[in-house]
Amino acid sequence: MSSGEIVVNLLFYVFAIVAIGGAVAVAASQNIVRSAFSLLAVLFSAAAFYAFMRADFVFAAQVLIYVGGILVLIIFAIMLTHRITDVQVSNESSHGPASMFACLCVLFSLVVVIATYKWTRSERPVDVTVPGTKATVSLGMLQADAQYAADRGTGVPRDGMLIDGRGWLVVRAPDLPAGVVAARFHVEGGTPVKEKESATKAWTWKTQPLRGADHADVVFDERRGVGREARLELTGLPAGRYRWGVSLVSEKSDVKPTEIARFGAAGAGEASDFRVEAGLSRPIGMALMGPYLLPFEVVSVLLLAALIGAAFLARKEVKEQR
Amino acid sequence: MNDLHQFMFTRRPLETLLVVSAIIFVAGLYTIMTRKNAVSILMGVELVLNAANINFVAFATFVPRAGLHGSVFVLFVIVLAAAEAAVALAIIIGIYQNFGRVDVDQADVMKG
Amino acid sequence: MIEAVTKALENVHSWADLYNGPWWLALLAIGGVCFLLANFIAIYAGVNTLLERKIAGHMQSRVGPYQVGPHGSLQWVADALKLLFKEDVIPKDTDKLLFRLAPYIVFGGSLAAWCALPLTVGWSPASMNIGILYVLAVSSAVVLGLLMAGWSSGSKWSLFGAMRGAAQIVSYEVPVGIIIVAMLLIYGTLDMTKITQLQERGAPFGLSDSWYGGVLSWGVFRHAPFTIIAFLVYYTGALAETNRTPFDIPEAESELVAGYHTEYSGMRFSFFFLAEYANMFVVSAIATTFFLGGCLPPFMNHAHAMMVVGGAVVVGGLAWGATRKMETAAGAATLWAMAAMAAGPFLWHSTGVFWAGGGPDSPAAKVQGVIWFFVKAFSLVLLMMWLRWTLPRYRVDQLMDLCWKKLTPLAFLCMFAIGVGEVSRVASILLCGTAAVLIGAILVKEVLAPEKAPPPLPRVNP
């Protein structure tokens, strides 16, 4: 396991243990205030999971609304509905072996389904035949070890969106044609998404072998469980639209590289193969103002109704004393 | 040991996240089923909603070409959970003012 | 040496770049940055306590702490040592786990917010695309630490103080959030380093997008007077968020002993104290980033700097000579400085931000950026301290009334006006002009014909 993976795994499992421990404490604690603060642990861990999945806007919304709003509301409600002078506010629960058994059955069935279903069955990258030979290579684009499938029609991954400009372009070749040692990647683009689609310019970025050049050669090497693979790591790509292409480089220096995929090979007018977005804020904003406009407006009316309703329901009625 | 890393988060992120959210979901389910305090039941509902949210974002991130519909839906779920918690807690405070305690087993009298 | 340090700081992201380098180095880097930041916050907050007491003293015609160190300047060290050695008293009737956990949550929220501040040009310890949203989110986690502290103290007064404090903070997040949204309409990005960069150039009312206007390009002048109103609303909300007078009902000595941290003593109490001062700096830092240009210098070039500083000294000296009063001297010097800073962009045409000693990427620029950032944020903190010892306290119902009935509608008005101003230049000039004329008329009327206080009610003989 590479070093980066160790750190990510470590941090993830710390947060997973906190989440599970907090959830169990909410379910089993005898003190209601303690279970409210264990809910805090669960909510923060859920926010951490969103951060692991690079959904940064959802992370901020979770902490701001759930932790800073809903949890404060719950704690206020606890303090308003109990006699507050006793610190050990008890929280009874009717145990029953029946409910515990039922819940364990549900958990067991969920875990079995999760573990046995082939979740990423459709992730196989597309295979492209190397022109002039019978060998095939497969092209893919990865982000955070998730794999984007390619479009079968054109052989080039399309519609991918990299968040934070970090990912890999991958060429896998179980059987390489004779004499091929490396894959040459070309990446072009980086214009802001609101400019005209056809304007492109070659881009250089700080940490890449493509600095100053317009291509990068990556030697094929064995990867455990996968076969011969050439991976180009992309980091620090500015936001914008990009196109990429791959050629196979032979060890003989006088042989021209065999081009196996070129950019813009899709239909006319579609000038990009993948987009890089700096975070999820902009795509979510475009989605909320686009396909999700009606739900957005309906939710705002619903929030207004909930605000008025809650304020009305919680007012102190003038009634006879008990 | 080397085979163990096939099951770690970085190799199978989707399954790991789904299992964690399943555990949180079942804990929330247990809370809803067994607790007597109305506010505790609401906390269980929040646990269930959070588990569903983690599932949504996990599928949006780790399934190929799923787009970001999962993340947008999660925003709506968070907002609706806030509205629902506000109204539910207002009702609970109303129950407290009428009955003196928020035990759901004892709030079984209709007014009038 | 400076180059090495700044280069190392630039590459902090690739140190923590989790896909290169050994894994323990990544964790060490994260831990190291947090350690340095926490220590810096602790020392800053300590010095801040001393400064508060000195300012309080001088405003009340006394000298404040005077014994420890020259003019009492080491008092904060003595205070810190005293708090460290105090007996750790935990009351009997408390929830021990939550009692111990609360100070760390409150301080952790502040530390997390410090990590995202744009300290210098294009750099912050943890720069992220959702900068300001992240800061707002972790600042709202402080509320829970407050509730935890109040609840677990086992005392009625702590609980009341905590609930009032939480209600106040949560209420004032609304106008603060709306003002931030209003300013985001101008900047179009959540990333605070980019927001600072966008204030390098631009003219008020959207008249130009590429004019290096020095002070006039800052956020607070973009749609004056609505941005000025926005700044004042934000600052008032920030005062309430950090529980500073005039909004310090939750911790006022004469009201609730010490509110939610009554039962805390020793080092735990000092955590709350440090967190309060750290929070003051965070909200001031956000105000400088959004309104006062962040780490950008207010000078156009060396000559301008000379004109502002030297001219202020000269004018102050002349005023002192004429009237022999420090107040008029200080007032005249400040007026000259502000007028000179505003006149600079018209006197000199500049093609870039003024960094003495190098271009915008040089280490000298980064150092100056940090200095300007701290100068601006710290002057806002000093203003908070000034207000504390000047204004009387608001009652709880007056506080809530101010928030919901006065600041929130004003914040919505600012958001609407700034939004309209961003869309069209003509609308911006019309709206801002009308508002300026109205405010000017009100001010003139107040100066020339102030309303007299109503006559006192006749005494009733008992």
Predicted local confidence at residue B69, as pLDDT: 85
Per-residue buried b or exposed e for B102-112, using 16+ beta carbons within 10 Å of the residue's own CB:
beeeeeeeeee
C246 prior amide bond cis, ω within 30: yes
Q: Which pair of tokens denotes residue A32?
A: 């209601």
pLDDT, residue C50, reads 92
CA nearest neighbour of B26 among A19, A23, A18, A33: A23
pLDDT of residue A231: 73
Element spanning A24, H or E:
helix A3-28
- Under a CB-based contact definition with an 8 Å cutoff, are residues C299 and C214 in contact? yes
Q: Out of A9, A144, A302, whose CB is closest to B83?
A: A302
- By CB neighbour count within 10 A (0-12 exposed, 13-18 middle, 19+ buried), where does C13 fall? middle
Would you call C20 an interface residue with chain A, using a CB distance cutoff of 8 Å? yes
pLDDT at A270 over 50: no
Q: Are C250 and C243 in contact (CB under 8 A)?
A: yes
Chains that touch C (3 or more CB pairs under 8 A): A
How many pairs of residues across A and C have Cβ atoms under 8 Å apart? 109
Cβ neighbours for A10, distance < 8 A, ≥ 6 positions apart = C23, C27
pLDDT of residue C257: 61
Please list the pLDDT of chain C residue by residue as tens digits (462 residues). Answer: 566 555 555 544 444 344 455 667 777 877 888 899 999 999 999 999 999 999 999 999 998 888 888 888 899 999 889 888 888 888 887 778 888 899 999 999 999 999 899 998 888 888 788 999 999 999 888 899 989 888 888 777 788 888 888 989 999 999 999 999 999 999 988 999 999 988 988 888 878 777 888 888 898 988 888 999 999 999 999 999 888 878 877 766 555 566 677 778 778 888 888 899 999 999 999 999 999 988 999 888 888 888 888 999 999 999 988 888 888 888 889 999 989 888 888 888 877 788 877 777 788 888 889 999 999 999 999 999 999 999 988 888 888 999 999 999 999 999 999 999 888 888 888 888 889 899 999 999 988 888 777 788 888 777
* CA count, 13 A, side-chain hemisphere, A308: 5
For residue A302, the one-letter residue type is L
Give the sign of the dihedral formed by CA A143, CA A147, CA A149, CA A155: positive
Whether residue A158 is predicted with pLDDT greater than 70 in this model: the reply is no
- Which sign does the torsion angle of CA A221, A226, A229, A234 carry? negative
- C295 vs C193: CA distance, rounded Å: 9
* C140 touching A (Cβ < 8 Å): yes
Start-end of H helices in A179-292: 281-289
Any CB–CB contact under 8 A between A7 and chain C?
yes
CA separation for the pair A14, C164 (Å, rounded): 34
CA angle C386, C105, C253 (to 5 degrees): 40
A144 touches chain B (CB under 8 A): yes
Q: What was the pLDDT predicted at A208?
A: 42
The answer for A 177-216 residues in CB contact with B (under 8 A) is none
DSSP A186: E
Residue A26 predicted with pLDDT over 60: yes
Tokens standing for A289?
Answer: 């103002």
Contact (CB<8Å) A110/B63: no
Enter the DSSP assignment of A163.
Answer: E
Type of residue found at B65: R
Question: C361 — phi, psi (to 5°)?
Answer: -100, 0
Say which of A76, A233, A235 has its CB closest to residue C163: A76
Residues C319 and C313: beta-carbon distance below 8 Å: no
Check if the beta carbon of residue A146 is closer than 8 Å to that of residue B64.
yes
Q: Cβ contacts (< 8 Å) between B33 and chain A: which residues?
A: 99, 102-103
Cβ contacts below 8 Å, chain A against chain B, sum to 245
Token pair of A79, please? 């303090």
Please report the pLDDT score of residue C248 as a whole number: 78
Taking a C-beta distance cutoff of 8 angstroms, is the pair C229, C175 a contact?
no
d(CA C144, CA C108): 12
* Residue whose structure tokens are 């109305």: B38
Long-range contacts of A126-134 (CB under 8 A, 24+ apart): A126/A150, A126/A151, A126/A152, A126/A155, A126/A157, A128/A155, A128/A260, A128/A261, A130/A177, A130/A248, A130/A258, A130/A260, A131/A258, A131/A259, A131/A260, A132/A258, A133/A177
Distance from CA of B73 to the nearest CA of A (A): 9
- The residue that leads in pLDDT, A134 or C413, is C413
> In the structure encoding, which two tokens stand for residue A224, read together?
């455990």
Token pair, residue C455, equals 């006559």
DSSP result, B18-85:
HHHHHHHHHHHHHHHHHB-BHHHHHHHHHHHHHHHHHHHHHHHHHSTT-TTHHHHHHHHHHHHHHHHH
Per-residue model confidence (pLDDT) at position A149:
38
> What is the structure's pLDDT at A133?
66
Q: What is the pLDDT of residues A86-97, one digit of tens each?
A: 556 666 677 778
Measured between beta carbons, the chain A residues lying within 8 angstroms of B26 are 103-104, 106-107, 110
For residue A69, which residues of chain B lie inside 8 Å, CB to CB? Answer: 82
C95 CA: distance to closest CA in chain A (Å): 7
> Dihedral of CA A31/A35/A36/A41: which sign?
positive
| Range 2-61 of B in CB contact (< 8 A) with A | 5, 8-11, 13-20, 22-31, 33-37, 39-40, 42-44, 46-47, 50, 53-54, 57-58, 60-61
CA dihedral A17, A19, A25, A28 (to 10 degrees): -100
Q: Give the Cα separation of C57 and C54 in Å (integer).
A: 5
Q: Cis bond leading into A257, ω under 30°?
A: no
In sequence order, what E strands does chain A have?
Answer: 126-129, 136-143, 146-148, 160-163, 167-172, 180-191, 216-219, 221-223, 227-234, 240-250, 258-261, 274-277
Task: For residues A310 and B85, give the distance between their C-alpha atoms in angstroms, rounded to a whole number.
Answer: 9
Name residue A300's amino acid. Answer: S
Alpha helices (runs of H) in C199-301, residue ranges in sequence order: 226-241, 253-256, 267-291
The rounded Cα C405 to chain-centroid distance in angstroms is: 24
Backbone dihedral angles phi then psi of residue C335, each to the nearest 5 degrees: -60, -45
Distances (CA, A) of A96 to A93, A187, B30, C44, C53: 9, 62, 10, 55, 60
Q: Which DSSP helix (H) or strand (E) runs through A37?
A: helix A32-52
Answer whether C192's CB lies under 8 Å from C118's CB.
yes
∠ CA C190-B64-A214, rounded to 5°? 70
* Count of CB atoms situated within 10 Å of the CB of A304: 11
Contacts of B87 in chain A (CB under 8 A): 306, 309-310, 313
Enumerate the residues of chain B whose CB falls inside 8 A of the CB of residue A91.
35-37, 40
| Contact between C435 and C230 (Cβ < 8 Å) | no
Amino acid at C217: S
Q: Which residue of B has its CA nearest to A294?
A: B76
Rounded distance between C-alpha atoms, residue C110 and residue A71, angstroms: 19
The reported pLDDT for the residue numbered A317 is 64
pLDDT at A152 over 50: no
Complex ipTM: 0.91
The pTM (predicted TM-score) of the whole model is 0.86
Structure token digits, residue C348: 């000199």
C147 contact A CB<8A: yes
Among residues C267, B83, B15, which one has the least CA distance to residue A313? B83
- Cβ neighbourhood burial of B94 (10 Å; 0-12, 13-18, 19+): middle
Q: Long-range contact list for C304-312, CB < 8 A, 24+ apart?
A: C304/C214, C304/C340, C304/C341, C304/C344, C304/C347, C304/C348, C304/C354, C305/C354, C307/C340, C307/C344, C308/C336, C308/C337, C308/C340, C308/C341, C308/C344, C309/C337, C311/C336, C311/C337, C311/C340, C312/C336, C312/C337, C312/C340
Q: What is the DSSP string of C234-262?
A: HHHHHHHHTT-TTS-GGG-HHHHTTGGGT
